[in-house]
Amino acid sequence: MKTGFYFQLGKKEVFVETTYQKKTEKLASKIFMALIKHGYSIPDNPDTRKELLYYLLPASLEIKHCPDTEFGPAHDYYNIFGKNFSGYGSDNVNDGKTIIITI
């Protein structure tokens, strides 16, 4: 199980694996730098950092396995959860809907 933070970016879900336990401007800047490497154009300024920090949720991530069923073939999926929320993450780790960043 990985620990870090979760937030949504447009129609994508982002999990930030990190040892940081507090939401700081330094963490926000590192997240922006990682997203830029993923092809996103996000300005790193006090306003965008403040907005990101507002939406960051402490979270954990597990990769779970779903066996073959009558509804579809076996596959792995992301389970992102935290205090007072669960069930986030892609239904299939290969669908490109969840971005995993390590800081």
Give mean pLDDT, residues 20-44: 94
- Work out the mean pLDDT of the chain and round it to a whole number: 92
Average pLDDT value for residue range 34-39 = 92
Q: What does the pLDDT read at residue 70?
A: 77
Read off the pTM: 0.89
CA dist., res. 78 & res. 69, Å (int)? 18
What is the β-pairing status of strands 12-17 and 98-102? parallel
Nearest to 82 by CA among 12, 15, 11: 15
